[in-house]
Amino acid sequence: MTEQMLSPASGRVIRIEGESRTISIFMHLHNVHVTAAPLDGVVKKITPEKGFFKPAFLRSSDFNTKNTIELETKYGDIKIVQIAGFFTRKIKCEVEEGQEVRRGERIGKICFGSRVDVSIPEGFEILAEKGDRVKCRKTSIASH
C-alpha cells in the first residue's frame, strides 16, 4: 500500500529544490491560508524567526518572518515552514511541541498572501511539478 503525502497548503508550486527535496507553495491572497500536516507524526520542534516581509513568490522571501514546524514521521523528520508575505504580518501556529498530528490535520494559518515550504522525506517520489495548483489536504504532492 502506498503512502500519499498531502499538500500542506493551497496555492501554486513555485519551486522544487532537488538537493533539499523541498517544495515551495505560494498562496495568493484568494487562497485559503490554512496549513495542514502532510503526514502523520509528532511535532518535534517549533522555531519562529523574525525577518522581512518581501513578496512571498520572490526568492528573497527566504529571509522573511517565518515559523518552522519540525514533524517526526515514520519516514523521518520533515519541516513545514510557514513564511509571511508582503501583506502578511501574522503567522498562527496551532500546535505545540510533543503534540501528535494526523495527516491533513490543521496545524496553523498564515494571514493573506504567503508561502509554505515542505521537505519531502527520502524514499518518497515527488509528484508535484513547478506551476501545479495544489489544494491543502487534498492534493498528493509525493508518494512512498
Residue 123 burial (10 A CB sphere; 0-12, 13-18, 19+): exposed
Point out the residues that are catalytic: 114
Q: How many whole angstroms separate alpha carbon 42 and alpha carbon 89? A: 27
Q: How many whole angstroms separate alpha carbon 115 and alpha carbon 65? A: 11
